[in-house]
Structure 1
């Protein structure tokens, strides 16, 4: 799992509109694909775009009870843009973008879960083979699988944002509707400092911050206000996300740059007199090609294979309705051990810990047996760059790596393997707490079932001699 952070550049714009507009780029092709598919099935055609498929074209977030909430581009833009602090500076980033990219192996694992979901809905190998006999049948199956992948990734995005909030280890106000106004806050802070001085408590006291907050809450309560705090959760964040299915090679990608240079050399050789065909062929053989499609890599070329990924736009500020009390949170604030009022404390955003947790979350949620973790990659990187790293239990790990294939083979031959395969779908439902994925889109499913029944009926009629 690869996750990166991109900060908003306030010098370009104070709005996220350009980002949300960019993330709409796949919508038109998706709508066209579905509409073309529906043209031949007038009896199933809906008065509007199939609602479940339509969710793919909308931004999503969560509401107060953790249900998915869908937003159009303008609403998503307003949600982020209108969430700002009265203390915000024009020069600071107003939002951040999380780019969440599952690996090829992780996507393959999700495909296996999708196959199990199809099987539980009656799509066994026989039915899938029938659908794959025609172009329309393949389209039906692809529409269903694609939507199920979107559901899986939307579910995972919600978990990522829970870890995102938790990683800040920040507090927010418990009752934002009962916060003091500016004049009252000045009074409360002044009385709190006076009380601490009277008690002989100064900033060097390890308990200063805790006592300051306690007295501050008491002074606020005397005015009928509430300054109590609780730990920040994902419900305190303001974010929208969108799943994308395609990636293209960018102008600054290394392969694109390399190929551009090679193509210039080829053109130069071809323009020269003399027989340079051997050199040209040699240069052409060095051109980078897409590993899946075999096409020569160039700027704008679509990358082959499954390229599902998630973009999350998250506001810099929490969702406190009082603009004066909104907290500023940045995932690019370096995590460090510090001291607050003489007391040890962790500040900033621990990105290493975040990456480990979201990987573990994926593994637990989708029952994925990870072979290459972020932690292992980080350790290998430190070794390559010459940084010190502790390597523990080498003997045990080495033994495990050697014996794992043998254990797997014994496991397959024991009969337990087949038993687990039969129970895996119910395990996903019961142990993970939700059905993966949530539901199969209605219209493509109905058409697929109709296609399968039609083929089976024809086969039956032929066998009876009709």
Structure 2
């Protein structure tokens, strides 16, 4: 979604342990095609989100390449944590089918503390906007200017602000918000062994 409207050189593509610039259609095809003998209700893949701290992000020299390197190191650790063997050999990252993508934006969700604590103000503003709409439609009498003034005051009274604006659901979070989404196939590269992080082998 972040690639919409961007020039090719600014787009973030999927990557894995050894490849870059993998298309979304290839990811879908590879993950969906690597699920033999799985039952309908069994997951085909697992989703991991890696969120470096603000301190860690500040230390990165080249955000894109450093985050890719970081992801590839994480996936080596992920693979080594499977306490099992495939054909007599310990599971390694070469047995794991995964695709990752870097994203640079995060938005406030309805469950975030800032949005929840701003909700009483948001409700009052919504009620005032409804009153204004009813006045405009002739359903009730009142001063639109006075109500708009109340709304302006409430906007400033909201406990959580960002760049002078009340924080609402869907607003982009400021600062470096880079993070990585990783899709890991349930089956190994050969599509014959199940590697579930929730199995007895974890």
TM-score, with normalisation over the residues of structure 2? Answer: 0.80
State yes or no: 1:102 paired with 2:52. yes
Inter-partner Cα distance in structure 1 for 2:151 and 2:32: 55
1:139-150 matches, within 5 Å, as 148-150=62-64
Say whether the 8 Å CA contact 2:100–2:183 is kept in structure 1. Answer: yes
Q: Which has the higher helix share?
A: 1
Residues 1:304 and 2:163 aligned together = no
Q: Which runs of 5+ in 2 are unaligned?
A: 132-140
Are 1:75 and 2:30 counterparts?
Answer: no
C-alpha distance 85-76 of structure 1, shift in aligned 2 (>3 A) = same
CA–CA separation in structure 1 for the residues paired with 2:30 and 2:16: 10
Other structure's SS at 1:315 match: strand
CA contact (8 A) 2:161 2:167 kept: yes
Deviation at 1:80, TM superposition (A): 1.0
Partners in 1 of 2:161 and 2:42 — Cα distance? 40
Distance 1:238 1:280 in 2: 52
| Counterpart-to-counterpart distance in 2, 1:297 and 1:279 | 15
C-alpha contact (below 8 Å) 1:266/1:280 kept by paired residues: no
Q: For the Cα contact (< 8 Å) 2:98–2:184, is it kept in 1? A: yes
Partner of 2:3: 27
1:213 is matched with none
Write 1 or 2 for the structure with the bigger share of strand.
Answer: 2
Question: What residue is the counterpart of 1:93 in the other structure?
Answer: 43
Q: 1:348: Cα distance to partner?
A: 4.3
Instruction: Return the offset for 1:247.
Output: 1.1
Cα deviation, 1:188-214, whole Å, max 9, x if unaligned, reads xxxxxxxxxxxxxxxxxxxxxxxxxxx
Describe the SS at the equivalent of 1:311: strand
Equivalent of 1:171 in 59, 82, 85: 85
| TM-aligned CA deviation for residue 267 of structure 1 | 4.5
Distance 1:58 1:332 in 2: 29
CA distance in 2, matches of 1:283, 1:243: 34
Change (3 A) 1:302 1:166: same
Structure with max Cα Rg? 1
Structure 1 segments unaligned to the other structure (5+ residues): 1-24, 32-48, 115-147, 174-228, 334-346, 350-466
- Distance in 2, Cα, partners of 1:328 & 1:285: 54
Write the distance in 2 (CA, Å) between the matches of 1:300 and 1:101: 19
Q: What is the correspondence of 1:149-168 to structure 2 with a 5 Å cutoff? A: 149-168=63-82
TM-score normalised by structure 1 residue count: 0.37
Measure, in 2, the Cα distance between the counterparts of 1:83 and 1:157: 22
Which of residues 105, 109, 115 is equivalent to 1:256?
Answer: 115
- The CA distance in 2 between the partners of 1:279 and 1:73, in whole Å, is 44
Look up the match of 2:136.
none
The CA distance in 2 between the partners of 1:300 and 1:263, in whole Å, is 14
Higher relative contact order (CA 8 A, sep 6+): 2
Q: Partners of 2:165 and 2:156 in 1: how far apart?
A: 12
| 1:252 positional shift | 3.5
Distance 2:201 2:197 in 1: 8
- Residue 140 of structure 1 is matched in structure 2 by none
Deviation at 1:249, TM superposition (A): 1.6
- Find the aligned partners of 1:294 and 1:239 in 2 and give their Cα distance: 41
Give the C-alpha shift of residue 307 in structure 1: 0.8
